[in-house]
Amino acid sequence: MLCGFGAACERDQADPAKAECVCKRVDCPSLVAPVCGSDSSTYSNECELEKAQCNTQRRIKVLRKGPCCEYQKYLFHWFQKQQK
C-alpha cells in the first residue's frame, strides 16, 4: 500500500495482512487566513487544507486565497457530474 500527502502506512496489529494510511498529528496554527481548496471547500488556513489532503488521500490545491464563493462550488459539482 502506498500512502501520500504526509501519511505513513501502518499495519494492523491484529491482522498484519491489513494496513492503512495514517496521517501525522499536526497542530495547525489558530491563524485565520482562509483559502479555497480545489474540492470547493473553504479551509481556515493552508495547514488545515494540507491536513484534509492527508486525511482524504486526494490532492487538494489552493484555488485562491480567501473563502470559496458559490460560483466555485457550482463549478466543482458540475465538473464532478461530468466525470461520471
Residue 17 domain-assigned (yes or no): no
Closest listed residue to residue 35, CA positions, set 69, 76, 80:
69
In this structure, what CATH number is given to the domain that contains residue 74? 3.30.60.30
Closest listed residue to residue 65, CA positions, set 24, 29, 31:
31
What pTM, to 2 d.p., does this model score? 0.73
* Per-residue confidence in pLDDT tens, the chain, 84 aa: 789 999 999 998 899 899 999 999 999 999 999 999 999 999 999 999 999 999 999 999 999 999 998 766 666 666 677 776
Distance CA 31, CA 23 (A): 21
Give the range of the structural domain holding residue 67, as residue numbers without chain letter.
Answer: 27-83
